[in-house]
Chain A
Amino acid sequence: MSGGNTTSEIGGGLLTAGLIAATVMSDGAAAPALEGELAAEGVGGAATTDAGLGLVDASGNIIGGGAAGSSLGSGLAGEGIAGTGITGSGLMQTGAGINALNTANNMLSPAELQAWNQGQADSFVQNPNAYAPVASTGATPLVPTNAASSVPNVDTTNAQLGQNIQNQADVGAPVSAPPVTPSYQMNPITGQPMTADQIAGSGSTATGGNGITGGGNGATPWYQDYWNKLTDTSGKGLNFTQKATLGGAGIATLLALQKSGAMQPNYLTPYQPKTAGSMGLGATMSPSYRPFRAQNYATGGNVASPTPAVTTPADVMPADLQNQQTAVPSQLQALMSQYGVTPQQASQGIQSLMGSQQKPTAGPSFANGGVASLKEGSFVVPADVVSHFGNGSTDAGLDTLQRHFGASPIRGHGDGMSDDIPTNIDGKQEARVANGEAVIHPEKVKQIGKGSADAGAKKLYAMMDKVRKARTGHTKQGKQIKAEKYLPA
């Protein structure tokens, strides 16, 4: 008896019908009597309905479930599970499986999948209308209307165009067509799509109708052709003024600009959809990726180095002040001479002001900015705990944790629970951390646990519970809220 898998246990989530359309192939008539086990394997045949497979013993009782049929009804061979603990439990649950989610919004749509297949995930979102169904039948896959295969083989005559459209509606599928260059170009006059020939300006002379016109001869642009064909209602030709009066002023302007050499004809080169690869989609970001950032502040990211912060006044102080504490800023020199203050007096004044202040520091945490990697075994202290250590001040809490554990602060977008800052663990596992959290490095975690990272983590969890208990009366993290909800209008 083979052990089988947990098919029957999960079958309830997969079946759409409770039918037991089982075919049991035993290894012999005596097989079902083997002490409650069934030395047999249920074999799924070509089931054509939404039926799962089950195993039955000699008495007809369900004792094991085969694999569930998919919603396509394809039966699968599955090994039955003998024994009484899990007999058929999955089979008895019907109608509550994955198919129950079919209408839910949180299911990957065929159109999205097709966009991936075509490498056009970007254009699907940016231009969802381009992915309209080509037929009313639900079974027909969605295709982009700009795909070559969906462009009808349009003749320039109205009759043929109408027939093509009719054929498309009747058959429920795109009209088969020879390869046509994909195009989004629309005729600005008629609002109708233009064929590749028209876009290239090399089509035959237009005969009018339905907007599939205006190809012009050779290199004649469409607006030149349009201008030439402007007539009155009787078909009589018009002079320049009359044409301009009839709405061709824009065309006249185009022609004038072209004639003067200020504008060359634009033959609207065929649109080439961007591929996912060209957009960088589908690729995994390198752990060493560093996004551009302005000034010295990270646009998001985690600590880049476990080393303690180093004072780097050059990053944060004006050049006049960072040279020496006794240096006199050049901006003050004019005032000093105006009021008769000597450089020595000014230096003493500045020194007395700055001497009691802690210099602002720019730690190496954000030296590179962007996304960096967390080391395996690091411990992230939640933002609420950090602020508890500072009696409500995140900065003070970070300072405390930095002094005690060498923890590195996490700064970036979002709040303390928004998890807006992407990072990863050892460059492999994607993770997110939040603004105001702190990372205790794995070496320190081990040190806290006297050599054991696990023991260190437990102590840190206990520390978190204690400080939360002391500050809030309980050990749970506060609920995530939307600040706007509580702010006065």
Chain B
Amino acid sequence: MIVKHVHVNYCAQTWPFVEKYIVDALKYGGDDYTLDQIKAYVCSGQWLLLVAVDEQGALHGAATVSFLNMPNDRIAFITFIGGRLISSRDTYAQMGQIFKQLGATKIQGAARESIARLWHRYGFEERYRIVEAKI
């Protein structure tokens, strides 16, 4: 499996293929974003789009990533991820390499309990618990 990023020029053309993976992830994303809003972020270049393709060129997963500049770190925040993108140490390493090339020093994401345990294998530690209240 090879992880690749999609240049912003091709995000709109790529979107129909990756949409199903984002829809899967969106089920757990609450009501923070709609699918159209995610598409707008990706196609405008505000979020990075990653895809996982196999040796035959077939698509197997996708992720959207937002970069956050903190005082001490530049964080690649995985906003949505679906399919087999972080499914092995190899794909995780490839993704990390892309983030490094973009200047990131950390990877973060909001994960469910099961995903947190899955990603623990790759070195992710729980940092925060997101709490929320409507006001």
Q: Chain A interface (Cβ within 8 Å of chain B)?
A: 5-7, 9-10, 12-14, 67-68, 70-72, 76, 86, 89-90, 93, 96-102, 104, 106-108, 110, 112-113, 115-117, 121-122, 124-126, 276, 281-282, 284, 374, 376-380, 382, 417-420, 422, 425, 428-432, 453-454, 457, 461, 480
A117 to B13, CA, bound (A): 9
Which residues of chain A are near B114, meaning CB under 8 Å? 374, 376-378, 425, 429
Interface contact A377-B2, CB-CB below 8 Å: no
Given contacts A9-B69, A125-B55, contact A108 B115 (CB under 8 A): no
B88 interfacial contact with A, CB 8 Å: yes
Which residues of chain A are near B7, meaning CB under 8 Å? 71, 98-99, 102, 107-108
Q: Say how far B15's CB is from chain A's closest CB, in angstroms.
A: 11
Which residues of chain B are near A72, meaning CB under 8 Å? 8-9
Instruction: Pick the residue among B3, B56, B87 that contacts A122 (CB under 8 A).
Output: B56
Interface contact B102-A276, CB-CB below 8 Å: no
Which residues of chain B are near A126, meaning CB under 8 Å? 56
Mark each residue of chain B from 54 to 72: 1 if its CB lies under 8 Å from any CB of chain A, else 0: 0111111100001111000
Interface contact B59-A70, CB-CB below 8 Å: no
Interface centre among B57, B84, B102, B103, by most A CB within 10 Å?
Answer: B57
Q: Which residue of the partner chain B has the closest CB to A460? A: B117
A-B contact sample (19 more), CB < 8 A, given A71-B9, A107-B7, A377-B113: A67-B44, A71-B7, A72-B8, A101-B101, A106-B97, A108-B7, A108-B14, A112-B57, A116-B17, A117-B13, A125-B55, A282-B58, A418-B88, A422-B87, A425-B115, A430-B83, A432-B88, A454-B113, A480-B89
Which residues of chain A are near B83, meaning CB under 8 Å? 430
Interface contact B113-A453, CB-CB below 8 Å: yes
Interface contact B113-A67, CB-CB below 8 Å: no
Chain B facing A: main interface SS = mixed
Q: Chain B interface (Cβ within 8 Å of chain A)?
A: 2-10, 13-14, 17, 20, 24, 44-48, 51, 53, 55-61, 66-69, 83-84, 87-90, 94, 97-98, 101-103, 113-115, 117-118, 120-121
Instruction: Pick the residue among A117, A121, A461 that contacts B57 (CB under 8 A).
Output: A121
A472 to B87, CA, bound (A): 27
